[in-house]
Structure 1
């Protein structure tokens, strides 16, 4: 029992670093609401947009949209829902498995506020300096310690905050370029039950963080009046997480080999490639198209080092690079009001083979609406609403291989999300 408890914690709780359990808005654990303007059209045309500076997250060249000193502040309130039905679950089979029942959960994901901030300062008629603050990746969720899959996962929290410094330059009337350097601060909270029904169980918790660096570059073209094309790239970010693992009294009583110690692990967050086109159909109506590739393949596995007598634990994720596609319309209703709508297909990086309680991820479809009201030439307010439909998926872990110390779990997941975004744009 002590050996299985120790391995269970090492092999299962660390997987939360790529959990999708509460990232119901975007596939994997990416967060794609960095602009209420872009969200209103499901990111359609975002890397080619000439509307405001918030599109610079996907393409830093679009800081040239600022003609004056400009501040754009956006916030998205993500309201996910995930219903879990456990069909069967057992604990570790190393010392004889026991049924864990079918207690499920329908309140395992938390509402989350995703903030974004952009500041642009023109240095000349052609060059703009920009600063932005975003949360590119994140999730927050808690299954609780009573559900039948508690040896596979309980609490998970991830937050990546990125501070970017950018320069954008208008080369000529139809070409702009831009680039940024980024400072990332990421924190991870991972929690899981350890032990077994027969020998007693307790709780283990990891808290770790790191600071890392990334970059982005982009280019925007307007080859003819009314036709805009944009391409932006955000780099992978390599984190070397360091932190602590702590066990509660029940876990320590169940096994003397479970000791508080320090931990470390290296994780590479994925790159983002965005290609967009915008076409003015009339003087008031604009069509936008976007394709976004997220390099999830960089997260194919994990190797965590417990700085004690516990040996390293290796866990396979099997993520695959995936694309998101969107199309949308922007309509200038009047001098004061602009309306938007869009749809998107966001493909999950998780494969059936490796889907788990940590990654119960499915393909997503978005339906978005939004608009902007201009109070005057200097100030505007933007809103957006997105409904995300997520494919029903099943988790079927047979208790062998990497799950030898976790036990078996068979569960069905039904998920969706609603997202409300608001923003203020102010020029000085």
Structure 2
């Protein structure tokens, strides 16, 4: 279930406060991220493969993000390809929000608990519930501003949430010893600069300053049918970059390429176990998390005054996500380790945009995309029950002299995701079944030009 992160700004404040007390020179960055957190306060779930969030632009939502690296007709391009802002004249401010309603339901095949975890002390099939619907309505915002230093040099700034994940099951569900809540939230700030070399070539770069916060919870069997509640929570700030190039062989064709670097995080926090409201253990912990490298290629072409077509191909380096390991911060001993063994994934999209003859300032958009999961069936978990996705999208845009509005809708259909956990664990029991999931996304943006 999606949750409103009203405590997120507070957590950032406490992190900032600790750094100031230590005299850390990064306190200015913490302060800046604190200000950004006032804008991004809602924890999203992942709707790209893995835990990537593609919902960064309403003007591309209706295209299923086809041509995201090449279309370059508003400030949101700086997330997908920073070189694209050289096509935008003057100053521009762009704000967008995506309302996302997923449905993720688990259908249990058969589940068995060990003698330790079974309330009656014997291995048996249990029917403690299938966890309910793990998805509910959420909002994911993003904001971009850009300006010209001169005709050839452009600058910009972006605040968004490029990665996020929330799955949350009912407390008494059958898989509670494997997962209850899994949450990852990122906030990314990206100062950007781009240079138009000539009429054909532009290059751009962004510096990524990223805050990440994660929370993992599950039940722990303590014997006699009594469950403990275990929670891991940690955060970190990491740094990365984006590079982009835009080639315009004609005034009707654009080709864009971009690279997003991975960002290394070492999340630090605590693992606490509770019996009711009483803390029975508290261990300083750490966990490494690396967001993936992403490389993309986009093409945009105007067929005539009414029609334009576009495409996008993206590769994501998810194969770096091999294990989710939590360690004791003091001794570096493993507290838990989950084998993930993800593969690299790809995203392919095709889109078209239509301008009616009598209303050239209006546009209808259509898009389809295939999003390949990085998760092998053998390693799929309840924390991220990911599968391949098909995107179907439609959008509408209206432009005036100094402002524009776009709205986009996507329906995402995920393949059935089979999960079997954990055949080797005597404490957690075997839980087997499948997930049926789909997502509806409605995005809107407003742009002002100065």
Is the shorter-chain TM-score for this pair beyond 0.5, marking a shared fold? yes
Please list every run of 5 or more consecutive structure 1 residues that lacks an aligned counterpart in the other structure: 1-21
What do residues 35-62 of structure 1 show as CA deviations (whole Å, max 9, x unaligned)? Answer: 0011110111110113212122111101
**1:25 Cα offset (Å):** 2.2
| SS across alignment from 2:86 | helix
8 Å Cα contact 2:300-2:311 kept in structure 1: yes
Match of 1:345?
370
8 Å Cα contact 2:306-2:360 kept in structure 1: no
Match of 1:268?
290
Which of 151, 168, 176 is the aligned partner of 2:177? Answer: 151
User: Number of residues paired by the alignment?
Assistant: 400
C-alpha distance in structure 2 between counterparts of 1:266 and 1:286, whole Å: 43
Identify if the C-alpha distance between structure 1 residues 62 and 93 changes in structure 2 by more than 3 Å, giving closer, same or farther. farther
What do residues 272-324 of structure 1 show as CA deviations (whole Å, max 9, x unaligned)? Answer: 11101111111221110100111111111132112478941332101110000
Identify if the C-alpha distance between structure 1 residues 269 and 92 changes in structure 2 by more than 3 Å, giving closer, same or farther. farther
C-alpha distance in structure 2 between counterparts of 1:129 and 1:309, whole Å: 45
Identify if the C-alpha distance between structure 1 residues 102 and 195 changes in structure 2 by more than 3 Å, giving closer, same or farther. closer
8 Å Cα contact 1:195-1:251 kept in structure 2: no
| SS across alignment from 2:320 | helix
Match of 2:189?
163
8 Å Cα contact 2:116-2:221 kept in structure 1: no
TM-score by length of 1: 0.89
**1:129 Cα offset (Å):** 0.5
Please list every run of 5 or more consecutive structure 2 residues that lacks an aligned counterpart in the other structure: 1-43
Identify if the C-alpha distance between structure 1 residues 278 and 93 changes in structure 2 by more than 3 Å, giving closer, same or farther. farther
Which of 355, 375, 391 is the aligned partner of 1:366? Answer: 391
C-alpha distance in structure 1 between counterparts of 2:83 and 2:115, whole Å: 56
Which of 110, 132, 135 is the aligned partner of 2:136? Answer: 110
| SS across alignment from 1:47 | coil
1:274-353 correspondence runs (5 A): 274-307=296-329, 311-312=333-334, 313-333=336-356, 334-353=359-378
Match of 1:68?
90
| SS across alignment from 1:282 | coil
| SS across alignment from 2:84 | helix
C-alpha distance in structure 1 between counterparts of 2:350 and 2:360, whole Å: 24
What do residues 147-170 of structure 1 show as CA deviations (whole Å, max 9, x unaligned)? Answer: 101011101211011000110111
C-alpha distance in structure 1 between counterparts of 2:266 and 2:385, whole Å: 25
Which of 421, 425, 429 is the aligned partner of 1:407? Answer: 429
C-alpha distance in structure 1 between counterparts of 2:214 and 2:114, whole Å: 26
Match of 2:213?
187
Q: Which structure has the higher relative contact order (CA within 8 Å, separation 6+)?
A: 1
8 Å Cα contact 1:107-1:143 kept in structure 2: yes
**1:327 Cα offset (Å):** 0.1
Deviates more, 1:96-105 or 1:330-339: 96-105
Identify if the C-alpha distance between structure 1 residues 47 and 393 changes in structure 2 by more than 3 Å, giving closer, same or farther. same
Match of 1:379?
403
8 Å Cα contact 2:128-2:172 kept in structure 1: no
TM-score by length of 2: 0.85
C-alpha distance in structure 2 between counterparts of 1:287 and 1:116, whole Å: 25
C-alpha distance in structure 1 between counterparts of 2:209 and 2:308, whole Å: 35
1:80-229 correspondence runs (5 A): 80-92=102-114, 97-101=123-127, 103-195=129-221, 198=224, 200-229=226-255
C-alpha distance in structure 2 between counterparts of 1:247 and 1:299, whole Å: 26
Match of 1:16?
none
Identify if the C-alpha distance between structure 1 residues 326 and 306 changes in structure 2 by more than 3 Å, giving closer, same or farther. same
Match of 2:414?
390
Match of 2:67?
45
Identify if the C-alpha distance between structure 1 residues 191 and 115 changes in structure 2 by more than 3 Å, giving closer, same or farther. same
8 Å Cα contact 2:363-2:396 kept in structure 1: yes
